[in-house]
Structure 1
Amino acid sequence: MTGLRELQRQRVHEALSTAAIRLFLERGFDEVPVTEIAAAAGVSKPTLFKYFPTKEDLVLHRFADHLGEPARVVRERERGERPVEALRRHFLDGLARRDPVTGLNDHPEVVAYYRLVFFSSPGLLARVHQYMARDEELLAEALAETTDDLTAGLLAGQVLATQRVLSRRNWQMLADGRPIEEAAAEAVREAEQGFGMLPA
């Protein structure tokens, strides 16, 4: 059972993130000072930094929530299932759920968030690449449990590059105004093609 202290912590965390993303979407990441975000959430600047060590973390904690997910998929795959097949299945399931991480979600805030993260600030994009690099390390570690280190490292890079390209293409289709059902059919076709190019 979640205690009152933890509930309060979750509320402050969510209030800060919500206020930050709203302000960033309105005016741009580089144009909003953290003091304004803290004031909008009703906390002090030092309190904000207790929850989010950097300004970038106010936006990218949503990426942090997915950190290690590919490695988890590999380790928790069904008995006899190959790692690439498990990752392919997981990505296709994400498309079916319209998981924002796949780029296939046309909610206006999700589309705007994607634009904010990938196209508005070099600092944000650099931090995203840090998360991606860490995900690649974790996936390589999981794959190394089934093959040699070099093969694991190469395959981890290939898988995550495939997912990154597919997600970006999906987001671009929606940003260009493609209807979501039409984009979804294309996204599934491209995912099958992309994962089909990976070694078994």
Structure 2
Amino acid sequence: MAETMGLRERKKLQTAMRIYRVAVGLFVERGFDNVSVQEIADAAEVSKMTVFNYFGTKEDLVFRPMEEHFGDAARAVRERQPGESAVAAVRRQFLEMVESRDPSIGLNPEPISRQVRELVRETPVLMERAFVAAQKGTRELAGLLAAETGDLMQATIAAATLSAARNALIEEHHRRIAEGVSPDQVTADAAERAGVAFGLVENGLKDYGVKQ
């Protein structure tokens, strides 16, 4: 993306990323609640006002770069081609993100995405915001499907199931890397795991978990 930007836009992006990385580093080191915006500004060598110009709130310093991804599934469904099912669209998008090792699904080798995840899990106010953002994304997906099909109940079930499949895959990526599996290895079989996960959604659960 930076290659298509002008000099001014690139400088703004670089400044935003510097502030973001400094903020995350301080939050990880000392805890989200123990770091002030002024301390972040000082460490990033910018003014406090500059921090707020790029990130509207302290919580935005964690969420702004990734919050748009809570709506990825809805975006995949909205932009799908005629004849493509909702499951196929979400699966295709997810596989494209696997291919590019998108940080939002836990496959980027840089540790910052995993640091942010742990930071969110350890900070109640951030966990609450993550939950609200995730629910908003699922409701957006349900709304799109309901508008097309006319059945809100089924659309809500479909949206929740698709979101759950994506979240389970992302959690699996993070879990395996945390256990010492290399990001390259996790990426190598991520497509196969995605096939299994979305296969469950596509085919339903009628043959899953039959008690022997």
Fold-level match, TM-score > 0.5? Answer: yes
1:114-156 Cα distance to aligned partner (Å, 9 max, x none): 3223x32122111111110111121112212332211111111
The 1:3–1:183 alpha-carbon spacing in structure 2 relative to 1, beyond 3 Å, is: closer
CA contact (8 A) 2:104 2:113 kept: no
Could you say which residue in structure 1 is the equivalent of 2:209? none
The 1:11–1:97 alpha-carbon spacing in structure 2 relative to 1, beyond 3 Å, is: closer
- Gaps (5+ residues) in structure 1? none
Give the TM-score, by structure 2 length. Answer: 0.81
CA contact (8 A) 1:63 1:131 kept: no
The 1:183–1:15 alpha-carbon spacing in structure 2 relative to 1, beyond 3 Å, is: closer
Could you say which residue in structure 1 is the equivalent of 2:103? 100
Which one of 131, 134, 137 corresponds to residue 132 of structure 1? Answer: 134
CA contact (8 A) 2:74 2:140 kept: yes
Q: Which amino acid aligns with 1:124?
A: L
Q: Which amino acid aligns with 1:141?
A: G
State the Cα distance separating 1:36 from its structure 2 match. 0.3
Give the TM-score, by structure 1 length. Answer: 0.85
Correspondence list, 1:66-81, <5 A: 66-81=69-84
Q: Distance in 1 between matches of 2:17 and 2:192?
A: 36
Could you say which residue in structure 2 is the equivalent of 1:196? 199
Could you say which residue in structure 2 is the equivalent of 1:32? 35
**Which shows bigger deviation, 86-95 or 59-68?**
59-68
Could you say which residue in structure 2 is the equivalent of 1:158? 161
Q: Distance in 1 between matches of 2:15 and 2:183?
A: 34
Q: Which amino acid aligns with 1:129?
A: F
Q: Distance in 2 between matches of 1:47 and 1:122?
A: 26
Could you say which residue in structure 2 is the equivalent of 1:121? 123
State the Cα distance separating 1:199 from its structure 2 match. 4.3
Q: Distance in 2 between matches of 1:178 and 1:11?
A: 31
Could you say which residue in structure 2 is the equivalent of 1:145? 147
Q: Which amino acid aligns with 1:109?
A: I
Structure with more relative contact order (C-alpha pairs < 8 Å, separation 6 or more): 1
Percent identical pairs in the alignment equals 39
Q: Which amino acid aligns with 1:138?
A: E
- Gaps (5+ residues) in structure 2? 204-212
The 1:105–1:2 alpha-carbon spacing in structure 2 relative to 1, beyond 3 Å, is: closer
Within the alignment, does 1:51 sit opposite 2:40 as a pair?
Answer: no
Q: Which amino acid aligns with 2:128?
A: A
Q: Pairwise CA RMSD of aligned residues? A: 2.5
Q: Which amino acid aligns with 2:117?
A: Y
Q: Which amino acid aligns with 2:129?
A: R
